[in-house]
């Protein structure tokens, strides 16, 4: 691309970096949720993972990871939609 001003390059680079950071903020909890689901699935088939001594403990760790990841991603999407005013009326703040 041909840029006329040096500032245009810096603005575009800053915008790309913020989008990359936002992607990582969502991807890391998403990865933890997938890992939690895998641990719960392996517990049902009796496969021990990560040297966890008890299958019930493996299931609880998996459930905790899954729920935390799911809650974080859902909250992120809810906050983004609220900011863009794309929520249903019953979820929007009612101003007095």
Domain housing 48? 6-91
pLDDT of residue 67: 98
pLDDT of residue 6: 56
The verdict on residue 1 lying in a domain is no
Nearest to 33 by CA among 76, 68, 85, 84: 68
pLDDT for 7 beyond 80: no
Question: pLDDT over 90 for what percent of the chain?
Answer: 50
The verdict on residue 34 lying in a domain is yes
**14-55 pLDDT tens trace:** 667 888 888 888 899 999 999 999 999 999 999 998 789 999
- What is the reported pTM? 0.74
The verdict on residue 57 lying in a domain is yes
**79-91 pLDDT tens trace:** 988 888 888 888 8
The verdict on residue 96 lying in a domain is no
How many domains are there within the chain? 1
The verdict on residue 73 lying in a domain is yes
The verdict on residue 23 lying in a domain is yes
């Amino acid at each position: 691309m041909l840029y006329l001003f040096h500032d245009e390059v810096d603005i575009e680079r800053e915008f790309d970096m913020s989008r990359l950071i936002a992607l990582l903020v969502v991807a890391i909890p998403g990865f933890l949720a997938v890992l939690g689901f895998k641990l719960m699935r392996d517990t049902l088939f009796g496969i021990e993972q990560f040297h966890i001594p008890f299958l019930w403990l493996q299931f609880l760790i998996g459930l905790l990871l899954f729920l935390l990841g799911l809650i974080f991603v859902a909250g992120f999407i809810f906050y983004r939609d609220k900011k863009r005013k794309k929520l249903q009326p019953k979820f929007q703040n009612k101003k007095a």
